[in-house]
Structure 1
């Protein structure tokens, strides 16, 4: 139960980082493809924040060196491809349906929550479980 609560709290932090960086991007850039650019930036920042938090507090993984950490991050990123599609589907779907920034962010938050549930299982099995087993 403690792990689930910790994971939920860290997912909320990563969601705030993602959505917050999207909003900040839109504050500074309102040109062509602004929403798309903001979602890409938010996704990247959210990915890095979530990786750092998951690695330290959920999986308690310590990389042997920078190469090991880079390889682990690449696996982490690969497991995020499908979950990112869920997140983007909800965010862009809500944007299309409701046409407001608030509802787009709400859709994004829903998509991130669904994606993070699936991502935990993928990371446990294919990223950190694999890495811990080979040590």
Structure 2
């Protein structure tokens, strides 16, 4: 009979077969991810059936395709509804570190990117950690905030 440990999982016993794994956080995390995936699929199915879906899709495409030109040192922010990464947050600035001469179609590890990356942006994280990320500049516009010295 398995006893319960302080974390709620059963103590390993001799009754468990050699190939059996103890249930762990990975199993729960996988279940959570799969459940979220199903919810997102259901949400998309309902949303994509809405009467104005084609009009909204066309408007988002126009916003994505709208030309922009950035230079090193410019402050930029996500265009509305264009955020596809965790950072920066909407309305928060990133700084243009580099505008690439030719867009990259694959990451340094050889994996193909979802869309060509043509700009490197810097984001400041807590502890003044400056991180640089690759993006597609079509998702960005000039930052509308103000630099303050307060």
TM class, shorter-length: under 0.3
Q: TM-score, normalised by structure 2?
A: 0.22
Where is the helix percentage greater, Structure 1 or Structure 2?
1
Where is the strand percentage greater, Structure 1 or Structure 2?
2
Choose between structure 1 and 2 for higher RCO, CA contacts under 8 A separated by at least 6 residues.
Answer: 1
